[in-house]
Amino acid sequence: MELTRMTAAELSAALAASEVSATEVTQAHLDRIAAVDDRVHAFLHVAADSALAQAADVDTRRAAGERLAPLAGVPVAVKDVFTTENMPTTCGSRILAGWHPPYDATITQRLKQAGAIILGKTNMDEFAMGSSTENSAFGPSRNPWDLTKVPGGSSGGSAAAVAAYAAPLAIGTDTGGSIRQPAAVCGIVGTKPTYGGSSRYGVVAFASSLDTPGPFGRTVLDTALLHEAISGHDPMDSTSIDAPVPPVVAAAREADVSGMRIGVVSELSGDGYQPGVLSRFAEAVELLESLGAKVSEVSCPHFGYALPSYYLIAPSEASSNLARFDAMRYGLRVGDDGTRDAEEVMALTREQGFGAEVKRRIILGAYALSSGYYDAYYGKAQQVRTLIIRDFDAAFGQVDVLVSPATPTTAFGLGERADDPMAMYLADLCTIPSDLAGNAAISVPCGLAPEDGLPVGLQVMAPALADDRLYRVAAAAEAALVGRWGQPLLASAKGLTS
């Protein structure tokens, strides 16, 4: 079997058994990137030299008999929002083009310590603001299923890399759905862990109270392996939870949903949802029931206000987080010709360095926080957030997990929503509630929409720190569905065989 078609779990076993070397595995993936990335454009930076050096190091240590972590020698693609000392970190923005951070994110460090091979940095919507990767200053990524379609966003590059077999694993961040939505439209698995379950130190901030780093994989087990490797308390992050990582790998292996109570969120359906998405979702729910789960309908009455609440809270925090990009200490500097003062240089730099969506959100955020408007907008949104948390609490009092489609439609076309911010925001309808509440959620492929043959994602949501339930349900669904399809969903993608 081609090394790039193997799952991370299979690679891990083969590497451990010395059936294959990390160098071979890494080279195979670098070759794959060279073959497809001109079309997919998943990567902003391919770190060939350092990846091969890391691989050589893993091989040496393994040969010396050292016991290595499960992911040692397994390639990973890293969203360009994580700081990496020896590689640029641009966040998909002109304002950080070429910036080399002097420190690694905690998650970058954990990947390195685990011996994972960082292939490079992936494309993203600028500063994680978007649902299609079209807001990247360096051009969009394309969906490997259909190169005229978006791979989702903001972690579109990471999702595309995994879906294109350029990397078995990738990490991204999820603030409003930016892992789950790309995973869904690219036909792969993606998890938003419990907020605080994975460290934000070294993750360039978009919305601090919502940003959650998380894993992508082609299978549920792969995703669990990566989830485990990157999670856990970090004293450098005050919002990091000091609790053991939930047993996600064990749950992915057990994959048993008998007796589990599953709630279908009634509000996450209806107008604006593509029929094919709804039908594939309904089938997936029936499937879970046939596997022994007890399914019921649950109402979360305030979920309808999640989108407006999010689009007040996130831009507000972003407007503040992005103030540091002012041309004084790093990044782009425009207009410093000796005639302008600091404020003018700041304003010119930010005007040229930020894209339209980022500017929209900064201004929106400044509005929501400004005196006179704070109570009605930001303050109110935080109250709605409390109500959504209460909806979840009440729901989880009746069921073990909640389910919904991961996103209302399949991958839309490049350019289709680029000039229509409101239409773009709707992609996050199903994912946003979990970001606001800080609980855990996953998207797992549940089929292709009959209308367009594009992937549909099933979203599972669990209470905070119950991430393992996600993997239990997702793995059960995956096993049953792959059994039904005869092969993994991705294997049926036409756009990828080349």
Partner 1 sequence: MTVTDTLVPYPEAVERYEPLMGLETHVELGTRTKMFCGCATTFGEEPNSQVCPVCLGLPGSLPVVNRMAIEHAIRIGLALNCEIASWCRFARKNYFYPDMPKNFQISQYDEPLCTDGWLDVTVDGGTVRVGIERVHLEEDTGKSLHVGGATGRIHGADHSLVDYNRAGIPLVEIVTKPITGTGANAPEVARIYVTELRDLLRSLGVSDVRMEEGSLRCDVNTSLSPRGSGVWGTRTETKNVNSLRSVERAVYFEIERQAAVLDAGGRIKQETRHFHEDTGTTTPGRSKEEAQDYRYFPEPDLVPVAPSRDWVEQIRAALPQTPAELRRVRAEQRIAWNVSEADMTALENAGALDRVAETVAAGASPADASKWWLGELARRANDAGIEVADLDITPAQVARIAQLVSTGTLNDRLARDVIDGVLAGHGGPDEVVAARGLAVVSDEDALTAAVDEAIAAHPDVAAKIRDGKVTAAGVLVGAVMKATRGQADGTRVRELILARLA
Partner 2 sequence: MACMPITRDEVAYLARLSRIALSDAELDHLAPQLDQIITAVGQVQQVAAEGIPPTSHATGLTNVFRDDEPRPCLTPGQALAAAPAVEQQRFKVPRILGED
Pick the catalytic residue from 21, 93, 131, 154: 154
Active-site residue flag, 178: yes
Tokens representing 371?
Answer: 């005196």
Contact status: 105 vs partner 1 (CB under 8 A): yes
Question: How many angstroms separate the CA atoms of 77 and 106, rounded?
Answer: 16
> 431 CB contacts (<8 Å, ≥6 apart)?
174, 176, 177, 180, 181, 192, 406, 407, 441, 459
**Cβ proximity of 165 and 32 under 8 Å:** yes
Alpha helices for 242-341 (secondary structure H): 248-254, 275-290, 306-321
CB closer to partner 1 out of 95 and 248: 95
Q: Between 222 and 267, name the residue whose CB sits nearer to partner 2.
A: 267
Subset of residues 190 to 249 that bind partner 2, contact rule: CB under 8 A = 195-196, 209, 235, 238-239, 241
Q: Is 79 a catalytic residue?
A: yes
Question: Of 305 and 325, which has the nearer Cβ to partner 1?
Answer: 325
Contacts of 125 (CB under 8 A, 6+ apart): 92, 131, 132, 133, 134, 135, 136, 153, 154, 156, 178, 357
The 8-class DSSP code of residue 333 comes to -
Peptide bond into 154 cis (omega under 30): yes
Size of the site for partner 1 (CB under 8 A): 44
Whole-angstrom distance, CA of residue 125 vs CA of residue 96: 13
Rounded distance between C-alpha atoms, residue 363 and residue 346, angstroms:
16
State the catalytic residue, choosing from 12, 79, 132, 199. 79
As a whole number of angstroms, the distance between CA 173 and CA 206 comes to 10
> Which one of partner 2, partner 1, none interacts with residue 364, CB within 5 to 8 A by kind?
partner 2
Per-residue binder mask for partner 2 (CB under 8 A), 80-119, x = binder: -------------------xx-xx----------------
DSSP string, 347-363: HHHHHHHS-HHHHHHHH
The span of 160-168, 177-185, 363-371, 445-453 binding partner 2 (CB under 8 A) equals 363-371
- Residue 343 within binding range of partner 1, rule CB under 8 A: yes
To the nearest whole angstrom, how small is the minimum distance from the Cβ of residue 154 to partner 1? Answer: 15
Q: Could you say whether residue 208 binds partner 1 (CB under 8 A)?
A: yes
**Rule CB under 8 A: is residue 320 a binding residue for partner 1?**
yes
CB of 413 to partner 2, least distance (A): 21
Is the alpha carbon torsion for 368, 430, 157, 143 positive or negative?
Answer: negative
Interacting residue with partner 2 among 286, 356, 451, 494 (CB under 8 A): 356
| Sign of the four-CA dihedral 80, 81, 87, 93 | positive
Output the smallest distance, CB 96 to partner 1, in A. 7
Nearest-angstrom CA–CA distance, 436 and 310: 7
206 interacts with partner 1 by CB under 8 A: no
Size of interface with partner 2, in residues (CB under 8 A): 67
Q: Does 238 bind partner 1 (CB under 8 A)?
A: yes
Least gap, CB of 317 to partner 1 (angstroms): 6
Based on the shown chain and the rule CB under 8 A, indicate whether residue 241 belongs to the binding site for partner 1. Answer: no
CA distance 92 to 154: 10
Position among 83, 154, 269, 443 found at the interface with partner 1 (CB under 8 A) = 83
The contact set with partner 2 (CB under 8 A) reads: 99-100, 102-103, 195-196, 209, 235, 238-239, 241, 302, 305, 308-309, 311-312, 319, 323, 326-331, 333, 336, 340-348, 350-351, 354, 356, 359-360, 362-364, 366-368, 370, 376-377, 379-387, 389, 421-422, 436-438, 464
Catalytic residues: 79, 154, 178
